[in-house]
Protein backbone atom coordinates (compact mmCIF):
# COMPACT_ATOMS: atom_id res chain seq x y z
CA UNK A 1 0.00 0.00 0.00
CA UNK A 2 1.14 3.57 -0.58
CA UNK A 3 2.77 4.95 2.52
CA UNK A 4 0.81 8.20 2.52
CA UNK A 5 -2.71 9.44 1.89
CA UNK A 6 -3.65 11.24 -1.28
CA UNK A 7 -2.86 14.94 -1.10
CA UNK A 8 -5.81 16.70 -2.68
CA UNK A 9 -3.96 20.04 -2.93
CA UNK A 10 -1.34 18.40 -5.15
CA UNK A 11 -4.03 17.03 -7.49
CA UNK A 12 -5.76 20.41 -7.65
CA UNK A 13 -2.52 22.23 -8.38
CA UNK A 14 -1.59 19.82 -11.16
CA UNK A 15 -5.02 20.29 -12.74
CA UNK A 16 -5.08 24.07 -12.43
CA UNK A 17 -4.95 24.70 -16.16
CA UNK A 18 -7.06 21.67 -17.14
CA UNK A 19 -10.78 22.27 -17.73
CA UNK A 20 -11.55 18.83 -16.21
CA UNK A 21 -11.01 18.01 -12.54
CA UNK A 22 -13.09 20.86 -11.12
CA UNK A 23 -14.45 20.47 -8.60
CA UNK A 24 -12.76 17.48 -6.98
CA UNK A 25 -14.56 15.49 -4.29
CA UNK A 26 -12.28 13.39 -2.13
CA UNK A 27 -13.51 10.95 0.49
CA UNK A 28 -11.53 8.60 2.71
CA UNK A 29 -14.10 5.82 2.14
CA UNK A 30 -16.91 5.47 -0.37
CA UNK A 31 -18.99 2.46 -1.29
CA UNK A 32 -18.06 3.33 -4.87
CA UNK A 33 -16.86 6.55 -6.52
CA UNK A 34 -19.40 5.77 -9.27
CA UNK A 35 -22.30 6.23 -6.86
CA UNK A 36 -21.21 9.65 -5.59
CA UNK A 37 -20.41 10.79 -9.14
CA UNK A 38 -23.86 9.67 -10.29
CA UNK A 39 -25.55 11.50 -7.43
CA UNK A 40 -23.60 14.64 -8.32
CA UNK A 41 -24.41 14.29 -12.02
CA UNK A 42 -28.12 13.92 -11.24
CA UNK A 43 -27.99 17.15 -9.25
CA UNK A 44 -26.39 19.02 -12.13
CA UNK A 45 -22.62 18.64 -11.54
CA UNK A 46 -20.53 20.14 -14.31
CA UNK A 47 -18.64 18.10 -16.87
CA UNK A 48 -15.20 17.22 -15.54
CA UNK A 49 -16.31 16.86 -11.91
CA UNK A 50 -13.92 14.38 -10.36
CA UNK A 51 -14.58 11.97 -7.47
CA UNK A 52 -11.70 10.26 -5.65
CA UNK A 53 -11.60 7.82 -2.77
CA UNK A 54 -8.81 6.36 -0.68
CA UNK A 55 -10.74 3.07 -0.50
CA UNK A 56 -14.05 1.66 -1.72
CA UNK A 57 -16.13 -0.73 0.36
CA UNK A 58 -18.15 -1.88 -2.64
CA UNK A 59 -16.01 -1.12 -5.70
CA UNK A 60 -17.76 -2.23 -8.87
CA UNK A 61 -16.38 -3.75 -12.05
CA UNK A 62 -17.92 -4.60 -15.40
CA UNK A 63 -20.45 -7.39 -15.83
CA UNK A 64 -21.48 -7.24 -12.18
CA UNK A 65 -18.01 -8.06 -10.88
CA UNK A 66 -16.42 -6.46 -7.82
CA UNK A 67 -13.36 -4.23 -7.92
CA UNK A 68 -10.92 -4.92 -5.11
CA UNK A 69 -10.25 -1.44 -3.63
CA UNK A 70 -8.10 -1.59 -0.49
CA UNK A 71 -7.05 1.59 1.30
CA UNK A 72 -4.19 3.40 -0.51
CA UNK A 73 -3.78 0.41 -2.82
CA UNK A 74 -4.91 2.10 -5.98
CA UNK A 75 -6.37 5.03 -7.79
CA UNK A 76 -10.16 4.95 -7.58
CA UNK A 77 -11.66 7.78 -9.57
CA UNK A 78 -14.86 8.68 -11.44
CA UNK A 79 -15.33 11.57 -13.85
CA UNK A 80 -18.66 13.13 -14.83
CA UNK A 81 -19.02 13.70 -18.57
CA UNK A 82 -21.77 15.55 -20.44
CA UNK A 83 -21.10 14.25 -23.93
CA UNK A 84 -23.03 15.61 -26.92
CA UNK A 85 -23.47 12.10 -28.32
CA UNK A 86 -26.17 9.49 -28.81
CA UNK A 87 -26.54 6.42 -26.63
CA UNK A 88 -25.55 4.25 -29.59
CA UNK A 89 -22.11 5.89 -29.42
CA UNK A 90 -21.71 5.74 -25.62
CA UNK A 91 -19.22 2.86 -25.88
CA UNK A 92 -16.82 5.27 -27.53
CA UNK A 93 -16.45 7.12 -24.22
CA UNK A 94 -14.91 4.05 -22.60
CA UNK A 95 -12.67 3.57 -25.61
CA UNK A 96 -11.57 7.19 -25.28
CA UNK A 97 -10.81 6.56 -21.61
CA UNK A 98 -8.76 3.47 -22.51
CA UNK A 99 -6.66 5.48 -24.96
CA UNK A 100 -6.34 8.33 -22.44
CA UNK A 101 -5.15 6.09 -19.60
CA UNK A 102 -2.69 4.22 -21.84
CA UNK A 103 -1.25 7.53 -22.94
CA UNK A 104 -1.06 8.85 -19.36
CA UNK A 105 0.75 5.71 -18.13
CA UNK A 106 3.15 5.92 -21.05
CA UNK A 107 3.86 9.62 -20.39
CA UNK A 108 4.30 9.38 -16.62
CA UNK A 109 6.13 6.02 -16.33
CA UNK A 110 7.33 5.37 -19.86
CA UNK A 111 5.43 2.07 -19.81
CA UNK A 112 3.94 0.50 -22.92
CA UNK A 113 0.59 -0.95 -21.95
CA UNK A 114 -1.97 -2.65 -24.18
CA UNK A 115 -5.71 -2.37 -24.32
CA UNK A 116 -7.78 -5.53 -24.19
CA UNK A 117 -11.12 -4.81 -25.82
CA UNK A 118 -13.25 -3.16 -24.64
CA UNK A 119 -11.33 -1.39 -21.92
CA UNK A 120 -8.93 -3.38 -19.80
CA UNK A 121 -5.43 -1.97 -19.58
CA UNK A 122 -2.84 -4.74 -19.50
CA UNK A 123 0.87 -4.83 -18.92
CA UNK A 124 2.62 -8.01 -19.93
CA UNK A 125 -0.82 -9.65 -20.37
CA UNK A 126 -1.79 -8.84 -16.77
CA UNK A 127 -4.52 -6.41 -15.78
CA UNK A 128 -3.28 -3.09 -14.45
CA UNK A 129 -6.40 -0.99 -14.80
CA UNK A 130 -10.13 -1.37 -15.40
CA UNK A 131 -12.68 1.11 -16.72
CA UNK A 132 -16.39 1.16 -16.00
CA UNK A 133 -18.44 3.40 -18.29
CA UNK A 134 -22.04 4.13 -17.39
CA UNK A 135 -24.45 6.46 -19.16
CA UNK A 136 -27.89 7.97 -18.59
CA UNK A 137 -29.97 9.14 -21.52
CA UNK A 138 -33.21 10.88 -22.33
CA UNK A 139 -34.49 9.13 -25.39
CA UNK A 140 -31.38 8.57 -27.49
CA UNK A 141 -29.43 11.57 -26.18
CA UNK A 142 -26.85 10.91 -23.47
CA UNK A 143 -27.30 13.42 -20.65
CA UNK A 144 -24.41 12.29 -18.56
CA UNK A 145 -21.88 9.53 -18.43
CA UNK A 146 -19.68 8.45 -15.55
CA UNK A 147 -16.29 7.03 -16.38
CA UNK A 148 -14.93 5.03 -13.45
CA UNK A 149 -11.24 4.12 -13.39
CA UNK A 150 -9.45 1.74 -11.09
CA UNK A 151 -5.67 1.46 -11.34
CA UNK A 152 -3.78 -1.11 -9.29
CA UNK A 153 -1.02 1.04 -7.86
CA UNK A 154 0.40 -0.55 -4.78
CA UNK A 155 -1.30 -3.83 -4.06
CA UNK A 156 0.73 -6.80 -2.92
CA UNK A 157 -0.17 -9.70 -5.21
CA UNK A 158 -0.65 -11.89 -2.13
CA UNK A 159 -3.47 -9.60 -0.99
CA UNK A 160 -5.38 -9.93 -4.24
CA UNK A 161 -8.35 -12.28 -4.32
CA UNK A 162 -7.10 -15.73 -5.45
CA UNK A 163 -9.19 -15.72 -8.65
CA UNK A 164 -7.42 -12.64 -10.04
CA UNK A 165 -3.96 -12.99 -8.47
CA UNK A 166 -2.36 -14.64 -11.51
CA UNK A 167 -3.96 -12.24 -13.95
CA UNK A 168 -3.40 -8.89 -12.26
CA UNK A 169 -0.45 -6.62 -11.73
CA UNK A 170 0.24 -3.22 -10.18
CA UNK A 171 2.51 -0.26 -10.87
CA UNK A 172 4.53 -1.20 -7.79
CA UNK A 173 5.05 -4.72 -9.16
CA UNK A 174 6.14 -3.41 -12.52
CA UNK A 175 8.31 -0.47 -11.46
CA UNK A 176 9.60 -1.83 -8.18
CA UNK A 177 9.04 1.41 -6.30
CA UNK A 178 6.27 3.55 -4.86
CA UNK A 179 4.60 5.95 -7.27
CA UNK A 180 2.95 9.33 -6.80
CA UNK A 181 -0.77 8.73 -7.26
CA UNK A 182 -1.49 12.46 -7.58
CA UNK A 183 0.65 12.66 -10.75
CA UNK A 184 -1.20 9.72 -12.23
CA UNK A 185 -4.66 11.10 -11.41
CA UNK A 186 -3.76 14.45 -12.97
CA UNK A 187 -2.26 12.87 -16.10
CA UNK A 188 -5.30 10.62 -16.62
CA UNK A 189 -7.72 13.53 -16.14
CA UNK A 190 -5.83 15.68 -18.68
CA UNK A 191 -5.77 12.88 -21.25
CA UNK A 192 -9.47 12.18 -20.74
CA UNK A 193 -10.14 15.84 -21.50
CA UNK A 194 -8.07 15.55 -24.65
CA UNK A 195 -9.65 12.33 -25.97
CA UNK A 196 -13.25 13.26 -25.14
CA UNK A 197 -13.73 17.01 -25.35
CA UNK A 198 -11.00 17.80 -27.86
CA UNK A 199 -11.36 14.68 -30.00
CA UNK A 200 -14.61 12.72 -29.76
CA UNK A 201 -16.91 15.70 -29.14
CA UNK A 202 -15.17 17.58 -31.97
CA UNK A 203 -16.22 14.95 -34.50
CA UNK A 204 -12.75 13.36 -34.68
CA UNK A 205 -14.06 9.87 -34.06
CA UNK A 206 -11.78 8.39 -36.73
CA UNK A 207 -8.71 9.73 -34.94
CA UNK A 208 -9.88 8.12 -31.70
CA UNK A 209 -10.68 4.76 -33.34
CA UNK A 210 -7.36 4.77 -35.13
CA UNK A 211 -5.44 5.37 -31.90
CA UNK A 212 -7.53 2.76 -30.09
CA UNK A 213 -6.85 0.14 -32.78
CA UNK A 214 -3.14 0.93 -32.58
CA UNK A 215 -3.15 0.19 -28.85
CA UNK A 216 -5.57 -2.75 -28.89
CA UNK A 217 -3.82 -6.08 -28.36
CA UNK A 218 -7.05 -8.01 -29.00
CA UNK A 219 -7.01 -7.37 -32.74
CA UNK A 220 -5.60 -10.23 -34.75
CA UNK A 221 -6.06 -12.65 -31.84
CA UNK A 222 -8.16 -15.77 -31.89
CA UNK A 223 -10.93 -15.17 -29.38
CA UNK A 224 -13.74 -17.08 -27.76
CA UNK A 225 -17.00 -15.20 -27.38
CA UNK A 226 -19.55 -16.51 -24.92
CA UNK A 227 -23.09 -15.25 -24.70
CA UNK A 228 -25.46 -17.35 -22.61
CA UNK A 229 -25.21 -20.90 -23.91
CA UNK A 230 -23.59 -19.83 -27.15
CA UNK A 231 -19.83 -20.11 -27.57
CA UNK A 232 -18.18 -18.90 -30.74
CA UNK A 233 -14.59 -18.90 -31.84
CA UNK A 234 -13.21 -16.40 -34.27
CA UNK A 235 -10.54 -13.85 -35.00
CA UNK A 236 -10.91 -10.29 -33.73
CA UNK A 237 -10.44 -8.24 -36.84
CA UNK A 238 -11.54 -4.64 -36.33
CA UNK A 239 -13.26 -2.07 -34.17
CA UNK A 240 -16.59 -0.91 -35.58
CA UNK A 241 -17.61 2.77 -35.80
CA UNK A 242 -19.60 2.42 -32.56
CA UNK A 243 -16.74 0.76 -30.67
CA UNK A 244 -18.00 -2.81 -31.16
CA UNK A 245 -15.48 -5.60 -31.75
CA UNK A 246 -15.85 -7.22 -35.14
CA UNK A 247 -15.05 -10.93 -34.91
CA UNK A 248 -14.73 -13.06 -37.99
CA UNK A 249 -16.31 -16.46 -37.24
CA UNK A 250 -17.32 -19.54 -39.25
CA UNK A 251 -20.83 -18.07 -39.24
CA UNK A 252 -19.66 -14.78 -40.70
CA UNK A 253 -18.68 -11.48 -39.10
CA UNK A 254 -20.10 -10.86 -35.67
CA UNK A 255 -20.22 -7.40 -34.15
CA UNK A 256 -20.08 -7.60 -30.38
CA UNK A 257 -20.85 -4.70 -28.08
CA UNK A 258 -19.46 -4.38 -24.58
CA UNK A 259 -22.92 -3.67 -23.18
CA UNK A 260 -24.24 -7.08 -24.23
CA UNK A 261 -23.56 -9.97 -21.88
CA UNK A 262 -20.57 -11.20 -23.79
CA UNK A 263 -17.48 -12.63 -22.23
CA UNK A 264 -14.38 -12.57 -24.29
CA UNK A 265 -11.21 -14.48 -23.78
CA UNK A 266 -8.20 -15.02 -25.92
CA UNK A 267 -8.28 -18.55 -27.20
CA UNK A 268 -5.56 -20.88 -25.95
CA UNK A 269 -4.19 -22.41 -29.09
CA UNK A 270 -3.44 -26.12 -28.86
C1 LIG B 1 -13.53 -3.55 -14.67
O2 LIG B 1 -12.45 -3.79 -15.21
O3 LIG B 1 -14.33 -4.44 -14.40
C4 LIG B 1 -13.88 -2.11 -14.35
C5 LIG B 1 -13.35 -1.70 -13.00
C6 LIG B 1 -13.65 -0.26 -12.65
C7 LIG B 1 -13.24 0.08 -11.23
C8 LIG B 1 -13.40 1.54 -10.92
S9 LIG B 1 -12.66 2.00 -9.39
C10 LIG B 1 -13.41 3.56 -9.49
C11 LIG B 1 -14.81 3.33 -9.99
N12 LIG B 1 -15.69 2.99 -8.88
C13 LIG B 1 -16.15 1.74 -8.97
O14 LIG B 1 -16.91 1.21 -8.14
N15 LIG B 1 -15.67 1.16 -10.06
C16 LIG B 1 -14.82 2.05 -10.83
pTM of the model: 0.93
Query: Cα torsion at 236, 240, 243, 245 (round to 10°)?
Result: -20
Q: Kindly report the protein residue whose alpha carbon is nearest to atom 16 of ligand 1.
A: 148
Give the separation between CA 197 and CA 188, rounded to whole angstroms.
Answer: 14
Beta sheet of 263-266, edge-to-edge order: 252-256, 245-249, 230-239, 222-227, 263-266
Query: Measured from the CA of 34, which atom of ligand 1 is nearest?
Result: 12
Query: Measured from the CA of 120, which atom of ligand 1 is nearest?
Result: 2
- Residue 125's contacts (CB-CB under 8 Å, 6 or more residues apart) are none
Q: Within 6 Å (CB) of ligand 1, which residues are found?
A: 32-34, 56, 59-62, 65, 67, 76-78, 120, 130-132, 148-150
Per-residue pLDDT tens digits of the chain, which is 270 residues long: 777 889 999 999 999 999 999 999 999 999 999 999 999 999 999 999 999 999 999 999 998 889 999 998 999 999 999 999 999 999 999 999 999 999 999 999 999 999 999 989 999 999 999 999 999 999 999 999 999 999 999 987 777 778 788 899 999 999 999 999 999 999 999 999 999 999 999 999 999 999 999 999 999 999 988 777 778 889 999 999 999 999 998 889 988 887 654 556 655 433
Domain boundaries, the chain: 8-215, 222-266
CATH of 222-266 given 1.10.287, 2.60.220, 2.60.40, 2.30.30: 2.30.30
Q: Is domain 8-215 classified as CATH 3.40.50.720?
A: no
Q: Kindly report the protein residue whose alpha carbon is nearest to atom 10 of ligand 1.
A: 76
Amino acid sequence: MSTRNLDLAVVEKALKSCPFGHPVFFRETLSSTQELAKELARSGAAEGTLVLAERQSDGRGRLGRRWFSPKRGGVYMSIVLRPPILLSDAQLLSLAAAVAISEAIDKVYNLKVQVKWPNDILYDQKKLCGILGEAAAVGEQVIYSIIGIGVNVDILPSLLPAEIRERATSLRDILGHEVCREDLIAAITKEIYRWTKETLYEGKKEELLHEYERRCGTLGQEVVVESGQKVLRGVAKAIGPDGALVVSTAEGDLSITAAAAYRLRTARLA
